[in-house]
Chain A
């Protein structure tokens, strides 16, 4: 099992990247007893503008809480894809949204690259805004960064009623997209 994960969730304001980062870190911290730190960088607008959420998960003390060399990147916009695709090493994982990013038009990454239709799947579920939860499902299924049950528990803890149902649905669709369930 990998001891430390440095994760970047990148896209634009309004895509729920910060919530996704919090859910991932909470699952590691509260359900799996690991250390986790979540940081973010965003602009003054609530919609649009480059936004990223960073998560470090480790069995050791997290000295520096930010990401220095990401080993897992989620890209939800072409800008985010471009920013990370080039610099990622071969052992890193790049997961991107095929609904919004035409990877054939972009530089090929050396990283292990996986594309899924996150936004289209979210649209099918009736809410584009849950593309973040679809993404989380695919991340968990692809990498095993946290247990699928840990994240499910975290979603149930953080949301209630219709929101919980919608988000869990989106999460399960994401797991299925990446071949789990």
Chain B
């Protein structure tokens, strides 16, 4: 067993958190996100309410104090993410939720969290933009912003839910990955899944896998807050404990103090990438809504709210075998899964509520081997299955018949 696994085992726990059984509830996506955060162990929320994410703040204001947590409504989104970073450094699992306009304001401090290697979760419930845009309408146009919204070379994890159940499950996963890799994780939801209500099953809390950050095993005087273990992830002590350390947005060495030599900077920036890219087996999640062993006429690559209309459309193509590959992890991009699925298909279709973001990545992965078609919509409305069916028909006529 290597060190990475050993430390992982040590930091997984199934803490008794009260209730002993699974609960069937009828919840809104935003409520399920708040439930998931609390189940994952989050005890701090700082945010500035914004449609269509406000119910997350509302649920946290009610539920966090009841479990000994803290809810703060901040003056704005800049302050929200700053408070989350500070809270997380004290050892508390912390998060915030927002939508496009607020997510833009959080980018600078999200960069601080990436460079400072501060575990935290940011929920972005996407709405139609740009700017204030259509405040109550859905979109999926923040895919690239989530990945590239900050300046400088940096890497982070982005997950995207398609059902209310996934809102719960993936929020737990988001916290686990943030803690595992000492990195921010974005839960990229959308107005459709966030405002939708469905029956969900919340597992027995004792059965939920919880990952907690690695704590230093050395005495305080030997602690180097940015010295990675062999898995690339440095243990993180708590502010306020006997471990006294410095976190800065400037380039820093293993001690956490400003250090500007090229060798250190190059290695640090590289490690921000490798600590994630060397563990893709723990990060990349996809769902095959077909038998992955099957040969397909058409592979439909979806994420978030495009998944379900695409699945409905795929079920209605009697003369054509279509299968939906749902990207649950959007970043790092699940290249290998897409390449493998595309190899078994004759053509690929990427429907998305934007004018072309995920399709660029799919084209990069698939190359010229298979034709890749898009279906793009940016008018504040979600896809109907019939729209996807119509596009499938067009694609079929172009290259499958």
A and B bound?
yes
Question: Residues of A with Cβ closer than 8 Å to B?
Answer: 22, 25-26, 29-30, 35-40, 42-44, 62-66, 68
Mark B116-160 against chain A: 1 for CB-CB distance below 8 A, else 0. Answer: 000000000000000000011000000000000000000000000
Q: A64-B385, A68-B385 are in contact. Are A25 and B197 (CB under 8 A)?
A: yes
Shortest Cβ distance from residue B212 to the other chain A in the assembled complex, whole angstroms? 33
Report the bound CA distance from A40 to B192 in whole Å. Answer: 9
Given A30-B26, A36-B26, A43-B136, CB of A65 within 8 Å of CB of B308: yes
In the bound complex, how far is the Cα of B51 from the Cα of A42, in angstroms? Answer: 12
Dominant secondary structure at the A interface: mixed
B67 lies within 8 A of chain A by Cβ? no
B72-80, B107-115, B273-281, B309-317 - interface stretch: B309-317
- Nearest chain A CB to B136 CB, angstrom units: 6
- The answer to whether A35 and B384 have CB atoms under 8 Å apart is no
From A26, A43, A64, B309 is in contact (CB under 8 Å) with A64
- Which residue in A29, A62, A65 is a CB contact (below 8 Å) of B26? A29
Shortest A27–chain B CB gap in Å is: 9
**Bound-state Cα–Cα, A38 to B386, Å:** 20
A22 to B25, CA, bound (A): 12
Q: Which of B350-401 contact A (CB under 8 A)?
A: 382, 384-386
A38 and B197 in contact, given A25-B26, A63-B308, A64-B309 (Cβ under 8 angstroms): yes
Secondary structure at chain B's binding surface: helix, strand, loop or mixed? mixed
> 7 smallest A-B Cβ distances: which pairs?
A64-B312, A38-B197, A29-B199, A29-B26, A26-B26, A63-B312, A37-B198
Task: Give the complex CA separation of A126 and B308 in angstroms.
Answer: 43
The residue from A40, A44, A62 contacting B198, defined by CB atoms under 8 A apart: A62
B196 at the interface (CB under 8 A from A): yes
Q: Does B6 contact A (CB under 8 A)?
A: no
Contacts of A42 in B (CB 8 A): 136
CB nearest to B310 among chain A residues: A64
Residue in B25, B192, B197, B385 whose Cβ sees the most chain A Cβ within 10 Å: B197
Given A30-B24, A63-B312: A40 touches B382 (CB 8 Å cut-off)? no
Structural contact, B26 and A68, CB atoms closer than 8 A: no
Interface pair B199/A36, CB less than 8 Å apart: yes
Q: Are B308 and A64 in contact (CB under 8 A)?
A: yes
Q: List 23 A-B contacts (CB under 8 A).
A: A22-B197, A25-B26, A25-B197, A26-B26, A29-B198, A29-B199, A30-B26, A36-B197, A36-B198, A36-B199, A37-B196, A37-B197, A39-B192, A39-B197, A40-B195, A44-B51, A44-B135, A63-B308, A64-B309, A64-B385, A65-B196, A66-B384, A68-B386
